[in-house]
Structure 1
């Protein structure tokens, strides 16, 4: 039930964020397709000469093809019991062979949130995030992760994140109640 409420809350945040005013965007916040569209708005096209139209037709080749679009996933880090977020739902651009653990480590480093792992290679796991460690809340407490609301059967270092995935890292206090 707690998990469902958390997912509903996160989805509300996403929907609310989609309604933001985009009229005041600059090129740094727009993707390549939106930037190309902004540069060729109706107002600009209405004042073009035939030569300008040819130039813009040539620019059509510069618009990224579907394969050039950036894959994205969504990450969050939270404390299950307190319903508190260490990292609110965050969109990340995927890099080749990104894993659930690799992206988490990158996000924590970028945001200067302390993180510690144990193990190595494919068996590396999260010991602590933001000074909250495994076993701090008892012998069955620690960090778990979900991909699209499912707990994977493999370690986070093995799970490749795909376009559109939602990865949630959650600190739980009792392994027997992890769902």
Structure 2
């Protein structure tokens, strides 16, 4: 599908200094690859390409940054790539960027919501998100009502849904004792 030499050539097009039209073609190509399971697995074996895509999420071209976010969302949907993306991005940094409106003046970063949602399928990510000392869930809650972007809002709702299904972190109140049955009355 993509040889090592082709991957190296593709990587050379994924730099901030590359002409925008060339970067756009490269990210479009990778977006197509990321739409298929085999393409995601191939990209998993190319950590330098993933690193370059993460760096290009802050590209001045909104189209290129958006393609990179879509690629990362596609990659995060594949459970075998979760660990690669946490190592590359860092969940704490991702949440910080997501919760800081205006973090990037050139891009709205709404697509970090679906990325968080996909990553929250991973037990380690849910553990981080639901850590009582970090208060991450509390930071995400206001975005369930975020009117400017249905993408951001939906991503947070998906993240919270995934966290709700983690039974290891759910604290249930103690079960009250059942009332004892009154003795059956005997009629004469």
* TM-score class, shorter: under 0.3
Specify which structure has the higher proportion of helix: 2
Bigger relative contact order, structure 1 or 2, given CA contacts below 8 A and separation 6+? 1
